[in-house]
């Protein structure tokens, strides 16, 4: 479907005014060429009209093509493309010391083993078109894997958190006693921001303003940059938080110092951006303020999944399966306008006609035509 036409050099159409003059001058020049008298007996083998005028016809056609190639008529064409939606999902996992407890008194499997198995199963059921990132945290968060398509990389990062491998990153995280969930979620949001195109990225002042809002008391004025609203930044993005600690607005150790974001403000920011937030709370210790922030009537902002402390593997798989269903990939349609230029077509056609004329004039077998 053509939507618009544009002429790059419309003044080139003035060259068409020279065409009649050139053709007329060529015909008059041919009339001045002397020919020997032909006997009337040979009138029956006189050349046809095409043979008499093919040079003129070829010249006119070549001239028109070359002029049109200079004009360069461009047209915009709408192309409709169907594709599967790509989700951007960050998995944030609590790796504090309390995650080392057995899931029940009859099992050697710890809670972090179960959580890692659940994360790995979630990665397996997601489509290959999804970006997935990984953040692990205790008192401080660690970005283990930025948003990536590479499932093998994600599995390698998960193996670094396995108790049996006893890696330095595992020892560092499990030695922490805090559950700094708000900082971990903010780290995931920062990774989302880093994926923006360069022209749409937030400035240092804009990031600082968002950070100051997160550090403040709940109910502060949130000023989201217009560039994020214009491109519907939160569409297709989600953060999944898995923890066995108490989900409260701030980390108790830093509550008075104000050094970490307030989780209620983090949730408000995610709601303003349209990013979905899922909390998997083992034991169900969710602060009332956090619960109220997540209970937004009329908006699909995420969910809190509360499980018993004696968590079973089947339960965690069911939770991640439900999140997978909630974050299902949709079939989308993209309509784009593609600009096409006619210059190559007319230029090739014009010079091809010139080549045909030269061959007809100079190749002996073709001259008989």
Per-residue pLDDT tens for 114-173? Answer: 888 889 999 998 888 889 999 998 888 899 999 999 999 999 999 998 888 888 888 888
Cα R_g (the chain), whole angstroms: 36
pLDDT greater than 50 at residue 254: no
| CATH architecture entry for 86-329 | 3-Layer(aba) Sandwich (3.40)
Cross-strand pairs, 83: 332
Rounded Cα distance between 277 and 362, Å, is 78
Q: How far is 213 from 264, CA to CA, in rounded Å?
A: 11
- What does the domain layout of the chain look like in residue ranges? 2-79+337-367, 86-329
DSSP string for residues in 8-77:
S-GGGGGGGGHHHHHHHHHHHHHHTS------GGGGGGPPPHHHHHHHHHHHHHHHHHHHHHHH-EEEEE
- Contact between 99 and 116 under an 8 Å Cβ cutoff? The reply is no
Measure the CA–CA gap between 162 and 127, rounded to whole angstroms.
Answer: 24
Q: What is the pLDDT of residue 46?
A: 61
Alpha carbons within 13 angstroms on the beta-carbon side of residue 118 total 28
Element (H, E) at 240: strand 237-243
Q: Which residue(s) pair with 332 in the sheet?
A: 83
Average pLDDT value for the chain: 81
* pLDDT tens digits, one per residue of 268-298: 888 888 899 999 888 767 778 888 888 865 5
Is pLDDT above 60 for 255?
A: no
In the sheet that holds 331-341, the strands lie side by side as 2-7, 73-84, 331-341
pLDDT band at 40 (very low <50, low <70, confident <90, very high): low
Measuring CA to CA, which residue among 303, 193, 207, 203 is closest to residue 247? 303
C-alpha 335/C-alpha 19 separation (Å) is 42
Using the structure block, give the residue that is written with the tokens 């937004």: 296
Would you say residue 256 has pLDDT above 50?
no
Residue 245 has a CB neighbour count (10 Å cut-off) of 21
d(CA 168, CA 170): 5
* Ordered alpha helix ranges (H), 130-180: 151-160, 168-174
User: Tokens in use for 73?
Assistant: 């008529």
**Mean pLDDT computed over 246-267:** 66
Nearest CA to 181 among 103, 99, 119? 99
245 Cβ contact list (under 8 Å, min separation 6): 94, 96, 98, 178, 179, 181, 285
User: Where do we find the tokens 């079973």?
Assistant: 312
- Are 251 and 257 in contact by the 8 Å Cβ rule? The answer is no
Angle at 256 between CA 255 and CA 259, to 5 degrees: 65
pTM above 0.85, yes or no: no
Q: What is the pLDDT of residue 43?
A: 59
Q: Tell me, what's the pLDDT at 253?
A: 44
Overall average pLDDT of the 4-15 stretch: 84
For residue 114, the surrounding DSSP H or E stretch is helix 111-125
């Amino acid at each position: 479907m053509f939507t618009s036409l544009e002429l790059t050099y419309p003044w080139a159409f003035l060259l068409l005014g020279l065409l009649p003059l050139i053709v007329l001058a060529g015909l008059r020049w041919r009339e001045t060429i002397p020919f020997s008298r032909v006997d009337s007996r040979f009138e029956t083998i006189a050349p046809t009209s095409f043979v008499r005028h093919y040079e003129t016809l070829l010249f006119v056609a070549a001239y028109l093509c070359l002029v049109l190639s200079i004009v360069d008529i461009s047209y915009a064409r709408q192309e409709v493309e169907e594709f599967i939606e790509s989700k951007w999902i960050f998995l944030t996992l609590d790796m504090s010391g309390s995650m080392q407890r057995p899931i029940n008194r009859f099992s050697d499997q710890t809670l972090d083993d179960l959580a890692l198995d659940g994360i790995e199963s979630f990665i397996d059921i997601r489509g290959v078109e999804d970006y997935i990132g990984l953040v692990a945290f205790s008192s401080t968060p660690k970005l283990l894997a930025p948003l990536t398509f590479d499932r093998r990389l994600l599995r390698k990062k998960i193996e670094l958190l396995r108790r049996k491998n006893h890696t330095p990153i595992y020892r560092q995280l499990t030695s922490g006693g805090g559950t700094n969930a708000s900082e971990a979620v903010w780290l995931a949001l920062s990774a989302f921001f880093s994926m923006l195109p360069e022209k749409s990225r937030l400035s240092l002042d804009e990031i600082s303003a968002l950070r100051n809002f997160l550090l403040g008391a709940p109910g502060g004025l949130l000023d989201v940059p217009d560039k994020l609203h214009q491109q519907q930044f939160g569409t297709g993005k989600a953060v999944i938080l898995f923890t066995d600690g108490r989900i409260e607005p701030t980390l108790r150790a830093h509550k008075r110092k104000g050094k970490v974001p307030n989780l209620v403000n983090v949730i408000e920011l995610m709601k303003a951006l349209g990013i979905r937030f899922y909390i998997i709370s083992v034991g169900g210790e969710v602060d009332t303020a956090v619960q109220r922030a997540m209970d937004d009537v009329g908006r699909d902002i995420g969910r809190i999944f509360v499980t018993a402390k004696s968590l079973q593997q089947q339960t965690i798989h069911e939770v991640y399966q439900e999140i997978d269903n909630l974050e299902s990939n949709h079939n989308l349609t993209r309509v784009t306008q593609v600009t096409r230029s006619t210059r190559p077509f007319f230029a090739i056609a014009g010079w091809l006609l010139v080549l045909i004329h030269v061959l007809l004039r100079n190749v002996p077998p073709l001259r008989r035509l």
